[in-house]
Structure 1
């Protein structure tokens, strides 16, 4: 252990904490320790008891956002000593109960903000620590870790309005109760109000926020003759679908239409032009989530709101056109 500490440039106590789970260490220190372990072929002797299993309830893997969250979870969870199981919750029924009977589940992470109430009641009855990841839950029995979706969408809409885009096509998931979709739409409405502009409900399209859905909603808006100089999609992959639909009818981004996404997943930085987006701190949200299960003390279920960031890419510019994009301008192209 001393050799690993020396090679990694940390103290032996830090190496001990890393392997025995009393406290977590920083990501940078963990990477140096792991590299030193590989170089020295060190095999740690674990003395702590099995910390149990974290169950992640997943709605679907259609959205790239969920796939990225799962990848980051799988990368982070070994540092905490937990095992992890993924339980799909898209189908009706009570199959999930079998998992809880057979596995030593010590924590639950919800990725679906509209989780089935019977499932929530079942998990709460077992007194298992739970975290709602990336959303607000109407069920106050779980901890909530997320960004301020209303403020984030408000800033995104204001950014486009400051670029003189008064005609904005908005792509959202279906708003429910206090869902993120509802909050983001509300944030956009407030931005329009602050600019003294009327919010046009006809310029809002609802769908799954996948790439295909973003493409279809944009194509539909063009067919319907909806005018817009910018599009604000509430997921990055839906924003990429917007760009494809515009390209298919001869419109360029950002020359003809500015496009903004939401989430800040790695894909948004890998495309050309680089997507302007509202970035969520996914890694930090995961750290806060896993830290919850490390705390053995009884604690009140609380809400943690982490800071978002507007990442300026290459898909938004000042609107210099005399009129918004419409079906007629598309036909001329």
Structure 2
């Protein structure tokens, strides 16, 4: 009988031990990172600038599992259009600090506020968000509409529930939820990456870069905290406020996106009838890097129209 308990204990302990042995994000890990680092109120944030100094500022917010490298193609395209582009890693991802605790709207707004202040970025910002970053960009813009020149959302979260099923249970449930995320999430993420592997990309090695995030301690807990936090928010009031404040909004969706369904476009239009939308045919959830040219064309057309 004791062998049963020993086996059960080993099963329970294994994902916790694996997490504890993952690489820590520290100064040694950051030595070869591109860009720079800001010491903000919550911790260290990795960031990088693209484009000409003095150009209008565009700030890009990445998604749940893809750090700032996801913006390489978009950022270079915006820089070619004359923008000064700021990309950064959300806490728990890339080269930024791994922080414990809730990752709700206040958490992410604080990081972005701190970074903009640190970099001397003031108003008239083109704010761009991808996936979960679309939620972060939306709530930031709704809180500070006077600072936003335009809001651009790529495959944005916030219009549909993403916290159902096993991941939702794992995110909301103490103790057992932590174990489930550590045990099951690597396989879930890798299955999603496998489905996207054959798509074209403007970011070299994008799938391997995303997979490598699993090697860092604190990444999976950060994903869990975000699912329970910002990704559990209904953003109807935020989008309604943006409509009331006349903030120009463009939302771009992929016709084959199995994470953010195309029905989100219709929900957004109900919440903000002035929002512009575009659909990229054949694009999945990775549209910023798989359909970079199409996304940039939609962005450029929107900017010309709104100006």
Q: Name the TM-score class by shorter chain.
A: 0.3 to 0.5
The TM-score normalised by the length of structure 1 is 0.32
Structure possessing the higher relative contact order (Cα contacts under 8 Å, 6 or more residues apart): 2
Structure with the higher fraction of residues in helix conformation: 2
Higher Cα radius of gyration = 1
Q: Could you tell me the TM-score, scaled by structure 2's length?
A: 0.35
